[in-house]
Amino acid sequence: MNETPEVVVLRLGHRPGRDERMTTHVGLTARALGADRVVFPDNATGSLETVSDITDRFGGPFEAELTDSPRGVVRNWAGEIAHLTMYGLPVQDVEGEIREAHRDQPLLIVVGAEKVPFDVYEEADWNVGVTNQPHSEVAGLAVFLDRLFEGRELEAEWEDADRNVIPQGTGKRVEPVDSDAECGHNR
């Protein structure tokens, strides 16, 4: 998926304590479902560490980074911007247009935590609703990425992992990448 311009997820807002798991899951979902990079506000250091650790163990390419100015990332973005919000246009109506624009333009996907400043609605090229019902930024991001990549992200191959999960009908099996030996175990 690296032949196309990059897809970056920006987490806008992070309330320490309250948003820890949600912010981390935004990063993990961005990685697992095909984005190239996640940018967290600089008070989300725990999320950065967790996502970087998962990338080290389970592979990439994927980058997690902090910014001291999430709003600056939006303002200075050289490419297209999709802001996920329950008030936006239905994803099924705009996904084709966004995919087309992304053929030659980097895409920034903005997900909020608390109330998103109205400027962001104006700076976005698309305000996108994954349904127009309130739910979770993690769910919204997952559906949006899957629509953007039309399911191809599910076939991604991971580089530089130190372990591979071997899919099982029942139980868990994990193999070290640099050895043929199985180290997995069944429950």
Distance from the first to the final alpha carbon of the chain: 34
User: CB under 6 A: which stretch of 35-43, 56-64, 79-87, 161-169 binds ligand SAM?
Assistant: 79-87
Shortest reach from residue 115's CB to ligand SAM, in Å: 7
Q: Is the dihedral of CA 116, 47, 80, 74 positive or negative?
A: positive
Shortest reach from residue 122's CB to ligand SAM, in Å: 14
41 binds ligand SAM (CB under 6 A): no
User: CB under 6 A: which stretch of 24-32, 93-101, 133-141, 167-175 binds ligand SAM?
Assistant: 133-141
Q: Which of 29, 47, 140, 147 binds ligand SAM (CB under 6 A)?
A: 140
90 binds ligand SAM (CB under 6 A): no
Shortest reach from residue 170's CB to ligand SAM, in Å: 34
By the 10 Å C-beta count (0-12 exposed, 13-18 middle, 19+ buried), 169 is classed as exposed
Number of residues that bind ligand SAM (CB under 6 A): 16
Q: CB–CB of 139/41 below 8 Å?
A: no
131 binds ligand SAM (CB under 6 A): yes
User: CB under 6 A: which stretch of 32-40, 70-78, 110-118, 146-154 binds ligand SAM?
Assistant: 110-118
Containing 156, the helix (H) or strand (E) segment is none
d(CA 129, CA 137): 11
